[in-house]
Amino acid sequence: MKKKRICIVTANRAEYSRVKTVLEAISKNQKLEYILIVIGSHLLRKYGNTYREIERDGFTIHERIYNTIEGENPVTMAKSAGFAIIELATLLDSYKPDFVVVLTDRYETLSAAVTAAFLNIPVAHIQGGEVTGTIDESIRHAVTKFAHVHFAASEASRQRIIKLGETPEFVFNVGCPATDLLLRAKILRQKEVLTNEEIKNPHIKANDPFIVVLQHPVTTEFGEGYSQIEETLYAIKDFGMQTIMLWPNVDAGSEHIVTAIRRFLEEYRLRNIFMYRHITNSLFIQLLYHCKCLIGNSSSGIRESCYFGTPVVNIGTRQHGRERGKNVVDVGYGRHLILKAIKKQVSHGRYPRENVFGKGDAGRKIADILSTINGIKVQKIITY
């Protein structure tokens, strides 16, 4: 029997965390085969060469697309999306998959969805229907309009996709595949985590409390990233707890954040802030569990931390409107507000766990649906 060919396009670590268990389930499914295309910041050293994590996990990378133009500004972001379309058109035409699976809301997601649609290849979209800030909000809903099958991560998202005029029969609430990874993780002792090869540093005190900071640019507030991250940096400096901090993603405005962090660390020579490009997902999950507070605007604060009840200080508009647990406190960009929120969250301690985005079986459900679904028509019709 000919296997259904599923082409998956992943652009960065956030997307990979949403597709890893889907890849595992496809590999086990007799009726499916995958073609994995890796694109975007996955392939850049500056962003941690995260394609290596995919290889370490044992998956075959069939194609690599170098589409990212340096500059991290609105123009290079648009051009990078364009390069992705040009390359994907050739690849998707030669692989002729039965489905193209696209993830979340990155500019490469839009490129992949548009290209597949032009080539009359059905599109399956993981994580549509959510609400956030930044350009991601527009991309996500635009991709919904190109997609034929929708794998929403919550019931509210499923309902929103249906309201956008999509056929309810093809809109599924499966939960988030990143949740699968969280719920199967075996929690290690903090000392083991902070002395791990990837994290260890002679100045890290492995038994002492720590916080994690991860703050990305907001593309719709381009030009404000420098001052936004400075406010966060002053707050964590004043708070004084040892801090594991990650460099931001590749989106427009990234350079402003990077420059601000560099200057700040040079000026204050703080010995208790430790910088990393990327931490392997299984280890990042351990940090999420053990940290006293997660600070910034990463989706991991909203989508993942509720499963551990980790206190979160969510800064600014990037996650505006996204479903979240009670463990998240929202603040604006002021240093005093941020500091006050961190103190409040750290003294509160762990919150009760909440299951907001699924029960840990999303990858398997997505593969099952892809292997059995029939009746997809390339011609889409709005339902109202």
- Minimal CA–CA distance to 295: which of 245, 336, 260, 337? 245
CB 29, CB 1: distance < 8 Å: no
Among residues 116 and 181, whose Cβ is nearest to ligand UDP? 181
Helix (H), strand (E) at residue 214? strand 210-214
Q: Which of the residues 240 through 259 are near ligand UDP (CB under 6 A)?
A: 246, 249
Q: Is 21 in the site for ligand UDP (CB under 6 A)?
A: no
CB 294, CB 214: distance < 8 Å: yes
| Residue range at the interface with ligand UDP (CB under 6 A); choices 1-9, 13-21, 117-125, 345-353 | 13-21
What three-state secondary structure class fits 133? coil
Give the interface size with ligand UDP as a residue count (CB under 6 A): 16
Among residues 140 and 158, whose Cβ is nearest to ligand UDP? 140
Q: How far is the CB of 304 from ligand UDP (least distance, A)?
A: 6
- List the Cα angle 279/282/284 in 5-degree steps: 45
- The DSSP code for 221 is G
Among residues 157 and 300, whose Cβ is nearest to ligand UDP? 300
- List the Cα angle 234/237/239 in 5-degree steps: 110
| Residue range at the interface with ligand UDP (CB under 6 A); choices 12-20, 107-115, 190-198, 375-383 | 12-20
Q: How far is the CB of 374 from ligand UDP (least distance, A)?
A: 32
Q: How far is the CB of 50 from ligand UDP (least distance, A)?
A: 8
Q: How far is the CB of 284 from ligand UDP (least distance, A)?
A: 4
Query: Which tokens hold the place of 276?
Result: 């990393």
Among residues 140 and 365, whose Cβ is nearest to ligand UDP? 140
Q: Which of the residues 260 through 299 are near ligand UDP (CB under 6 A)?
A: 278-279, 281, 284, 298-299
Interaction pattern, residues 191-230, with ligand UDP; x per rule: CB under 6 A: -----------------------x-x--------------
Q: Which strands sit side by side in the sheet containing 32-39, from one edge to the other?
A: 63-65, 32-39, 4-10, 99-103, 123-126, 149-152, 171-173
Residue 214 pairs in a beta bridge with 246, 296
Q: How far is the CB of 119 from ligand UDP (least distance, A)?
A: 27
- Among 100, 116, 135, 178, contact with ligand UDP (rule: CB under 6 A): 178
Q: How far is the CB of 326 from ligand UDP (least distance, A)?
A: 20
Q: Is 322 in the site for ligand UDP (CB under 6 A)?
A: no
Among residues 67 and 281, whose Cβ is nearest to ligand UDP? 281
Q: Is 6 in the site for ligand UDP (CB under 6 A)?
A: no
Cα radius of gyration rounded to whole Å, the chain: 20
In Å, what is the CA distance from 37 to each residue of 20, 43, 61, 106? 13, 11, 6, 15
Among residues 67 and 132, whose Cβ is nearest to ligand UDP? 132
Q: Is 123 in the site for ligand UDP (CB under 6 A)?
A: no
Among residues 51 and 284, whose Cβ is nearest to ligand UDP? 284
Q: How far is the CB of 31 from ligand UDP (least distance, A)?
A: 28
**What is the rounded distance in angstroms from the CA atom of residue 252 to the CA atom of residue 249?**
9
Residue least distant from ligand UDP (Cβ): 298
Please list, in sequence order, all residues whose beta carbon lies within 8 angstroms of the beta carbon of residue 326, skipping any fewer than 6 positions away.
306, 351, 352, 354
Beta strands of 47-161 (E only): which ranges? 63-65, 99-103, 123-126, 149-152
Query: Which tokens hold the place of 121?
Result: 């290849």
Q: Which of the residues 78 through 97 are near ligand UDP (CB under 6 A)?
A: none
Q: How far is the CB of 292 from ligand UDP (least distance, A)?
A: 18
In Å, what is the CA distance from 117 to each residue of 96, 123, 375? 12, 7, 17
Query: Which tokens hold the place of 108?
Result: 């490469």
Q: How far is the CB of 120 from ligand UDP (least distance, A)?
A: 30
Q: How far is the CB of 1 from ligand UDP (least distance, A)?
A: 35
Q: Is 157 in the site for ligand UDP (CB under 6 A)?
A: no
Sign of CA dihedral 177, 180, 186, 187: positive
**Residues engaged in binding ligand UDP (CB under 6 A):** 13-14, 17, 178, 214, 216, 246, 249, 278-279, 281, 284, 298-300, 304
